[in-house]
Amino acid sequence: MATVVLALGGSLLRPEVEERRDWLREFVAIVRDRVSSGDRIAVVVGGGAPAREGIEIASHSIDDIEHLDRIGIAATRLNATIIREALADDGIPVSGSIPRSVEEAVVDLERRSVVVMGGTVPGHTTDAVAIMLAVNSGARKCVIATKVAKVFSDDPRSNPDAEPFDCLTLGQLQEIVGPPEHKGAGSSQVVDPVGVDVAVRNSMPLDILDGRDSGKIRKSLEGEEFEGTIVEG
């Protein structure tokens, strides 16, 4: 039996409508299969477009980053509820509520095979929450499923010469993402620097992949070779 923490980018819930429905069905099947194999799965869901849109609207009248962060956290908890209810409807033994802290999630994971949560406190992205949960639950790794294929040396959207990486050390990843500073409400990077710092200090392995392809999530959770970036100590 293994424990794995999976960070799902909120953007994965916002493709075209039909694709979104198919993706969610496939994701539920993946979790069901891992639970049947004896694994424990913790899922931490990001806010995606609803978070960014809400923060953008509020930013015209709210200056305090902490208050804007709380809007983003609310969006993550909504997305987490979508995932939790889909898993529960399939009969998967998932926690009965959305934990509000890493500590609460650790306790729930001892009681149930699956825990689903969103953000916790201002200043911590869901990437950071997922990596903290992986450390505190004794997980074998943390999977970061987002909408990018791999980690690149630079932003490939602005630099066509950016180099993709199949494998990195945690230290190399930290050099790429920069110092562990909160970049502000609604910001988006391949992996949050605060979370990377937690992974470095605790030698937590990371799998970084494009979660829009649910097959890559399945392969990572099953310990098979997948297309993405493997980050180890």
Write out pLDDT tens, residues 120-142.
Answer: 988 788 999 999 999 999 999 99
pLDDT at 186: 46
Note whether 65 and 72 are within 8 A (CB).
no
Note whether 136 and 203 are within 8 A (CB).
no
Note whether 92 and 114 are within 8 A (CB).
yes
List beta partners, residue 43.
Answer: 6, 116
86's tokens:
């889909």
pLDDT at 17: 45
Burial class, 167, CB count within 10 angstroms (exposed 0-12 / middle 13-18 / buried 19+): exposed
CA dihedral 25, 92, 190, 50 (to 10 degrees): 70
What CATH number did the domain enclosing 169 receive?
3.40.1160.10
Alpha helices in the chain (DSSP H): 17-36, 48-58, 65-89, 102-111, 126-137, 170-177, 193-202, 214-221
Q: Which of the residues in the chain have pLDDT under 70?
A: 14-19, 48-55, 182-189
Cα separation, 177 vs 167, whole angstroms: 15
pTM above 0.85, yes or no: yes
**pLDDT tens, position by position, 32-48:** 999 999 999 999 998 86
How large is the angle between the packed helices 214-221 and 17-36, nearest 10 degrees? 10
pLDDT at 222: 95
Cα 18–Cα 145–Cα 169 angle in degrees, nearest 5: 160
By residue range, what is the domain housing residue 133? Answer: 3-232
Structural domains of the chain, count: 1
